[in-house]
Amino acid sequence: MAKSFASFGFRPELMRGIQDLYYKEPTPIQEEAIPLILEGKDVIGQAQTGTGKTAAFMLPILNGLLEGKRDIQALILTPTRELSIQIAKEVEKLGKHLNVNVLSLHGGTDIDRQLSKLKETVHIVVGTPGRVLDHMKRGSLHFGRISTLVLDEADKMMEMGFLEDVEQVIVGTPSQRQVLLFSATMPDLVKKLAHRFMKQPPHLKIEGKQKTVEQIEQFYYVVNQSDKTDALVDVLEQEQPYLTIVFANTQVRVQQLTARLQENGLTAQALYGDLSQNKREQLMKQFREIRFQYLIATDIAARGLDVEGVTHVINYDLPNDVESYIHRVGRTGRAGQKGKAISLISPRQKNLMGRFAKTTKASIEERILQAGRHLDAGRRQRAEEREAHFIELRKQQQQEQKKEKDKEFAPVREAIKKKAKVKPGYKKKLARELDELQTKYEQNRRRAEAIAARKAGKSAKPGTAAGKGGSNRAGNTGKPNRPSNGKGRSRG
């Protein structure tokens, strides 16, 4: 292994930048890659994060930089805004004695400002595929004279769906240029990309005996999904971390966790992809200045995020692959400091943790979570909510059963309403009963009319037409005249 960077024959101005950053000696990937890159060869470098990949390709590029040339001399493609900004800052630090001009092109930033800067002299462009391709289509960016193209974190770019954009950018570069590809893993898409656009590149694969830092204490708690948020708050109260990054897999989860921590009086902020670039840069600046202690983030912050003093990394959601786990864990225990990596997992994820431990050759211990006040209160509340839910569920079941019975008897009710079939002779019986009822009705009606007529005759008074017709002559005795039958004689 090279004992110093001076053994590579770097120019004095570059060596001063290396000394300013206190680089002691080359890492394994730097030792193997730098000589090949200086020879002008295409190179595939496979190594984990934190192994010095950025300096491995940046030092040779800066060493061959022509300061008086106005054309863009190198293009570095990265998967995320954060990594683009991080690499651009690294270039500025390493090349501060070289008078190098570097520009980071990424989404979430005013494109007019980028267009204005592109009119000035730019030696190195670092950017995300989408924004770089946008400038190429606008005609504001040309790579016809670049000498080096770097694909950093190539596996992440493929995972994020940038294959088509990357291919279009590469096609826009000259055929006679050096291509450097760095990746933590080598999935098929990355291999195909390398085979198509690189010229017999040597494949440098660096595997350390242990892929996670020894100073990082790694352990996990098995927690039910319903208990996770309360468990997180209890863990933070028990650990009392200095600076913490909490990783979740979705933007919605990040926002929910941030709100919950803020409700409990913890200084927490959310970092995810949909935030504007200015907002994200402002958040990272505040986090570095320790203006808040808890950064809740998606994996977009896992690569290229370098903050000194992070004492704890917590996986609220476990990543699906070991590489992402390593990238997350690597945010703590930096610069020789100690750190803790805590994961909250479901019972089914224990096998996955075992695989992580085996691959990283690290000890990841299972521990029993001591329930704090938040977890206890949360469990009681959830028990009450479950009981209320079951009561409501039983009511709904009873209502459903009643509906089913009503549905079952509906045809019977409909048959009663309609002319349903009856036994033979039943209709005749009904007709006879109806005739009898009609006869009785007529008898009762006639009887009622006769009674009414008699009452009307009794109520007739003298002086009416009927009384005058029935009055006697002089000497009337008040009795009615007898009708003449032709036999009796009238008295004188």
**72 shares its domain with 183:** yes
Q: Quick one: CA dihedral 218, 223, 226, 230, positive or negative?
A: negative
**95 shares its domain with 41:** yes
**192 shares its domain with 230:** no
Whether 477 maps to a domain, the answer reads no
The DSSP call for residue 254 is H
Whether 443 maps to a domain, the answer reads no
Please report the pLDDT score of residue 480 as a whole number.
45
Q: How many angstroms separate the Cα of 165 from the Cα of each of 24, 84, 142, 161?
A: 38, 16, 15, 9
Please report the pLDDT score of residue 214 as a whole number.
72
- List pLDDT tens digits, range 125-156: 999 999 999 999 999 988 888 999 999 999 88
User: How many domains is the chain partitioned into structurally?
Assistant: 2
**296 shares its domain with 364:** yes
- List pLDDT tens digits, range 254-279: 999 999 999 989 999 999 877 776 78
Q: How far apart are CA 393 and CA 385, in angstroms?
A: 12
**149 shares its domain with 106:** yes
SS3 136: helix
Whether 429 maps to a domain, the answer reads no
Among 328, 343, 377, identify where a domain stops.
Answer: 377
SS3 181: strand
Nearest to 108 by CA among 261, 234, 282, 241: 282
Q: How far apart are CA 297 and CA 254, in angstroms?
A: 6
Among 205, 237, 255, identify where a domain stops.
Answer: 205
Please report the pLDDT score of residue 437 as a whole number.
80
CA atoms within a 13 Å half-sphere pointing along the CA-CB vector of 482: 8
Residue that the structure tokens 């300061």 belong to: 67
Question: Two tokens at 385?
Answer: 């909510």
Please report the pLDDT score of residue 452 as a whole number.
85
Q: How far apart are CA 43 and CA 128, in angstroms?
A: 21
**51 shares its domain with 141:** yes
Please report the pLDDT score of residue 302 as a whole number.
54
Residue that the structure tokens 């809740």 belong to: 296
Q: What share of the chain is helix, strand, coil (3-state, %, to 5)?
A: 50, 15, 40
**278 shares its domain with 176:** no
Amino acid found at 119: K
Whether 410 maps to a domain, the answer reads no
Q: Residues 331, 313: contact at Cβ < 8 Å?
A: yes
Question: Two tokens at 110?
Answer: 């005013």
Residues pairing with 461 in the sheet:
none
Please report the pLDDT score of residue 413 as a whole number.
62
Q: Quick one: CA dihedral 128, 131, 133, 135, positive or negative?
A: negative
Question: Two tokens at 422?
Answer: 């009856």
Q: How far apart are CA 2 and CA 16, in angstroms?
A: 18
Residues 6+ apart with CB under 8 A from 373: 234
Among 173, 205, 237, identify where a domain stops.
Answer: 205
Please report the pLDDT score of residue 474 as a whole number.
40
Nearest to 38 by CA among 65, 12, 78, 2: 65
Q: In what order do the strands lie in the sheet with 364-367?
A: 268-271, 294-297, 244-247, 312-315, 339-345, 216-222, 364-367
Strands (E), 4-147: 43-46, 74-77, 102-105, 124-127
Residues 6+ apart with CB under 8 A from 272: 251, 254, 255, 297, 298, 300
Query: Looking at residue 68, which CATH number applies to its domain?
Result: 3.40.50.300
Whether 67 maps to a domain, the answer reads yes
Q: Which residue range(s) make up the domain with 81?
A: 5-205
DSSP H helices, 264-361, are 277-288, 322-329, 350-360
**221 shares its domain with 299:** yes
Whether 384 maps to a domain, the answer reads no
**How many residues can be counted in the chain?**
492
**182 shares its domain with 240:** no
**Summary count for the chain: helices (H), strands (E):** 17, 14
Nearest to 357 by CA among 365, 345, 349: 365
Q: How far apart are CA 240 and CA 242, in angstroms?
A: 7
**176 shares its domain with 269:** no
Whether 451 maps to a domain, the answer reads no
**183 shares its domain with 225:** no
Q: Which backbone phi and psi does 176 adopt, to 5 degrees?
A: -95, 80
**183 shares its domain with 322:** no
Whether 435 maps to a domain, the answer reads no
pTM for the predicted model, two decimal places: 0.54
What is the CB neighbour count within 10 angstroms for residue 380?
10
**Which residues of the chain are modeled with pLDDT < 50?**
1, 209-210, 464-492
Please report the pLDDT score of residue 300 as a whole number.
66
Amino acid found at 332: T
Q: Residues 317, 249: contact at Cβ < 8 Å?
A: yes
454-472 as b/e: b if 16+ CB within 10 A? eeeeeeeeeeeeeeeeeee
